[in-house]
Structure 1
Amino acid sequence: MEHRVSLITVGARDVETLAAFYEALGWTRVDSPDGVIAFDLLGQSLGIYPLAALADEIGVPESDLGHGAMALSHNVREKADVAPLLDRAQAAGGRLLKPAQDVFWGGHHGYFADPEGHIWEVAWNPFSALGPRGEFQWNGVG
Structure 2
Amino acid sequence: MDPRLSLVTLGVTDLERSVAFYRDGLKWPTGYKAGDGVAFFKTWGTVLALYPIDQLAEELPDPDFKPVAGPCGITLAHNVRERNEVDVALTDAVAAGATIRKPAKDTFWGGYSGYFADPDGYLWEVAWGAFPIGEDGHLILP
State the TM-score, normalizing by the size of structure 1.
Answer: 0.89
Q: 1:138 aligns with which of 122, 137, 141?
A: 141
Alignment of structure 1 residues 5-20 onto 2, 5 Å: 5-20=5-20
Q: What residue is the counterpart of 1:123 in the other structure?
A: 127
Q: 1:79 aligns with which of 64, 78, 83?
A: 83
Gaps of 5+ in 1: none
Deviation, structure 1 residue 31: 2.5
1 or 2, which has the higher helix percentage?
1
Deviation, structure 1 residue 134: 1.4
Identity of aligned residues (%): 43
Gaps of 5+ in 2: none
| Aligned 8 A contact 1:52 1:62 in 2 | no
Alpha-carbon distance between aligned partners in 1 of 2:32 and 2:7, rounded to the nearest angstrom: 15
Query: Can you list the C-alpha shifts for 1:79-110, whole angstroms capped at 9, x where unaligned?
Result: 01101110111111111001111001100000
Query: Can you list the C-alpha shifts for 1:41-89, whole angstroms capped at 9, x where unaligned?
Result: 1232100000000000114459721242100000000001101110111
Matched pairs, number: 138
Q: CA RMSD in A?
A: 1.9
Q: State the AA in 2 paired with 1:40.
A: K
Q: RCO greater where, 1 or 2, for CA within 8 Å and sep 6 or more?
A: 2
